[in-house]
């Protein structure tokens, strides 16, 4: 039985969209690892939906259906990583196209887009999309085929007005794609604000357990040329997710609303605490009233402001690294959105990208908030 879309996201997620294992009666959707599927004596497919697992997998379709429902989309496509999803989106462009991309976003995206644009003679314009006038001017003067934004951004936590960005892109004849990884579909649904395509690194909070690589694209216009091109590219280039990874991802999504609720509440408390700490110079978190993008985030995010934030330690690299080195509960590791809290000295990871050497990026998990604050307190002292 498929659950109706009138139900709330937490219900759809918890029940995996209403899918059960019909043959056994199990309440957990089954995993079928087969790469190929049998035909009968007349060479007709036993299951018309399944020919070969590169593009046919029941568990992948189930996970995609749940993601589409959570996102308020008509269709979603899974990829083996977030970057594979981004690559599939931009590979639809012809040589010589023009794109406008938000500056200061996840460095992996920026680096790949710069290299890709150079190889394909694509004109890339980077702009601070959190500045509405700058974004409008860039779209008007460059008429991009795709405008790509990330909100909240990583690691600066800048907030972009999605509805405004959509108007800018559409008035220039282009499409708006939004990386909504830090928000998850629980907190933000860009398609409802006018975006054409939404992207997530599902490796992060959507999976939530730091054990699956996955990416997703979703749209409300599955008949659009760009979407059919993306689907063809995924099939032909083989950028597919495996059935076991899809099964794990679906299992992680069943607790997504609960995890996000807890993580947002804890992150807000920690951000409030650090914003008053004498050894902290600044805190970047859209949940703080002092954040430049707070009003926009409050308008387009529901239920919280995410688990990701950054803060500046007073001093420089030595002081920041000392804090990171003394933390006991926060794992010093890359990524975000898992049930365990993580911390990064971002300048060490990306030394040539303009990240201040006093910046510490934090992903808050589901641990007790008082334990996490106590750990930060002892590290800062």
Phi, psi angle pair for 294, to nearest 5°: -60, -45
Q: Give 60-121 as a DSSP string.
A: HHHHHHHHHHHHT-SEEEEESSHHHHHHHHHTTSPTT-EEEEETTS-HHHHHHHHHHHHHHT
Tell me the C-alpha distance between 154 and 287, whole Å: 15
| Tokens (6 digits) for 183 | 């928000």
H-run or E-run covering 362: strand 359-363
Order across the sheet with 98-102: list the strands.
Answer: 75-79, 215-219, 197-201, 175-179, 146-150, 98-102, 123-127
Asked if 326 is an active-site residue, the reply is no
179 is catalytic: yes
The tokens 């219900």 sit on which residue?
11
Using alpha carbons, list the distances in angstroms from residue 136 to 105, 128, 148, 293: 18, 11, 13, 17
Residue of 58, 65, 161, 179 marked catalytic: 179
Where does 254-368 have alpha helices with state H? 256-275, 294-300, 317-326, 346-349
Gap between the Cα atoms of 347 and 315, Å rounded: 14
DSSP state string for 155-172: TT-----HHHHHHHHHHT
CB-based contacts of 377: which residues, under 8 Å, 6+ apart? none
Separation between Cα atoms, residue 118 and residue 84, nearest integer Å: 18
Structure tokens at 283: 């805190």
Q: Which of 69, 189, 204, 234 is catalytic?
A: 204
Helix (H, G, I), strand (E, B) or coil at 30: coil
The dihedral built from the CA positions of residue 58, 74, 88 and 179, taken in this order, carries a sign that is negative
Q: Which residues pair with 161 in a beta bridge?
A: none
Catalytic status, residue 42: no
Assess contact for 19 and 36: CB atoms under 8 A.
no
Of the listed 69, 106, 234, 262, which one is catalytic? 106
Q: Indicate which residues carry an active-site annotation.
A: 54, 106, 179, 204
């Amino acid at each position: 039985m498929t659950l109706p879309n009138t139900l709330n996201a937490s219900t759809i997620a918890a029940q995996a969209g209403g899918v059960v294992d019909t043959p056994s009666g199990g309440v957990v959707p089954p995993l079928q690892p087969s790469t190929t599927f049998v035909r009968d004596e007349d060479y007709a497919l036993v299951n018309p939906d399944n020919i070969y697992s590169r593009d046919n997998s029941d568990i992948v379709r189930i996970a995609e259906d749940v993601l589409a429902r959570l996102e308020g989309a008509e269709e979603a496509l899974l990829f083996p990583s977030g970057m594979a999803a981004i690559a599939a989106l931009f590979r639809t462009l012809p040589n010589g196209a023009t794109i406008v991309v938000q500056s200061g976003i996840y460095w992996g995206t920026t680096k790949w887009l710069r290299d890709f644009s150079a190889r394909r003679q694509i004109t890339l314009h980077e702009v601070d999309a959190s500045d509405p006038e700058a974004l409008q001017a860039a779209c008007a003067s460059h008429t991009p085929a795709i405008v790509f934004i990330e909100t909240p951004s990583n690691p600066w936590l800048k907030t972009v007005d999605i509805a405004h960005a959509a108007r800018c892109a559409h008035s220039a004849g282009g499409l708006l794609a939004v990386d909504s990884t830090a928000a998850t579909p629980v907190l933000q649904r860009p398609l409802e604000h006018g975006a054409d395509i939404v992207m997530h690194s599902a490796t992060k909070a959507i999976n939530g357990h730091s054990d699956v690589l996955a990416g997703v694209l979703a749209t409300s216009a599955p008949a659009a040329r760009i979407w059919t091109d993306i689907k063809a590219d995924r099939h032909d280039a083989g950028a597919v997710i495996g059935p076991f990874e899809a099964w794990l991802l679906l299992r992680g999504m069943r607790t997504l609303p609960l995890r996000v609720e807890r993580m947002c509440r804890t992150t807000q408390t920690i951000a409030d605490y650090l914003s008053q700490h004498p050894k902290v110079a600044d805190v970047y978190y859209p949940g703080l009233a002092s954040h430049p993008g707070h009003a926009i985030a409050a308008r387009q995010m529901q239920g919280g402001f995410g688990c990701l934030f950054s803060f500046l330690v007073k001093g420089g690299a030595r002081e920041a690294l000392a804090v990171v080195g003394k933390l006991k509960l926060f794992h010093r590791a890359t990524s975000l959105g898992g049930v365990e809290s993580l911390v990064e000295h971002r300048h060490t990871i990306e030394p040539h990208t303009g990240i201040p050497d006093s910046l510490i990026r934090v992903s808050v998990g589901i641990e007790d908030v008082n334990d996490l604050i106590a750990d930060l307190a002892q590290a800062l002292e």
